[in-house]
Amino acid sequence: MELGIVGLPRVGKSLTFRLISGIPQEKLKHDARPQMEMVTLPDDRLQFLSDRYQPKKTTFAQFKAIDFPAIDLTSRHRGEILGEIRSSTDSLLIVLQGSETMGWPHPSGKVDPARDLSELLVEFQVSDLGIIENRIEKLKVQVLKPTKHVGDDKAELALLEGIHKRIVENNELLSEMEFSDKETEVLRGYRFLSQKPVVALVNVADMKDAEGVREKIALKIGEANVLAVNVQGEVDILELAEDEREMFIEELGIGELHGDKVKKTAYRALGLISFFTSGKDECRAWTIREGDDAVTAAGKIHQDLARGFISAEVTHFEDFHRLQDEKLIKAEGKLKIVGKEFKLGDGDIIVIRHNG
């Protein structure tokens, strides 16, 4: 998974990148190129399994975070940045300025994160519209040629012309349109900005500034995908020595830093879940999409397991955590023997039975 961190100028975007990646200030790039870091997804469930089995190795799920240059809506070069964001990301973390007292003025003169989000979403759709229009012109030529793909080209042309009409004439948002599975597969190749899952992070100097703001933004992208964070304050906490940091977090009673919540929210927004394998050699979290089946999960571990798949033993973490004994788990019927088509859930612990 590639998470793009984007936003208007001077909203705390690179500071947010530091918060979720953990890199120090001196490692931040200060040029016009995107910066990438692998981010580890914290998971108390995997930590519990690791503490129990004491394996040689514990491997948490990871994803790539990319800090892009700011999107200046007045710049003639913003199209280049949007093109790079489109081609390089699976989901977007949009950072928004949420306080007047951030140490710098807002580009428009007034802080309004809901307005800023709307303007960025419109900019994404306008950019996507340009891609659609260019493709329509090419397809109009292609469908006149007697190629073996002419049927697919005609279907794609009809799909794109229909989308174009709904955007231009009906003012519909691409992100809110529904498509068939086949149409979705065609559109996936375009990697449209306005179809990417979005998480909004409102960067505030005081959490009181977030009151009422999250509700407005939730109307656009859903309540579960909106976070308010004092990014500078949390980065300052991260820079403390570990024992001081843990004491500070405990005194504040916040449970976990928002940086961890941002990672988990972005992971969920993309429709990703984790399953676990555990033992003395390694305890590991594996990433699959929600709805993936057991044989797909087996292939994530190793393709040989998918090819020789017989069945899978599945126990949900909550049952394992509650019972902590294989005999009790079996006695209560919490160990399932499942076939290839079984849909795994987030937190399932699996053992693959296979030929080979």
Q: Which two tokens stand for residue 35?
A: 């910066």
Q: Of the ranges 167-176, 249-258, 260-269, 323-332, which one carries the lowest mean pLDDT score?
A: 249-258
Rounded Cα gap, residues 356 and 346, in angstroms: 28
Which pLDDT tens digit goes with each residue over 131-162? Answer: 999 999 999 999 999 899 999 999 999 999 99
Rounded Cα gap, residues 170 and 179, in angstroms: 17
Q: Residue 231 burial (CB < 10 Å; 0-12/13-18/19+)?
A: buried
pTM of the model: 0.89
Q: Of the ranges 107-111, 159-163, 342-346, which one carries the lowest mean pLDDT score?
A: 107-111
Residue 109 backbone zone (phi > 0: left; psi -120 to 50: alpha; other: beta): left
Report domain 291-354's class: alpha beta
Which pLDDT tens digit goes with each residue over 61-74? Answer: 999 999 999 999 99
Which pLDDT tens digit goes with each residue over 308-334? Answer: 999 999 999 999 999 988 899 999 999
Alpha carbon 208 to its chain's center: 27
The mean of the pLDDT values for the chain is 91
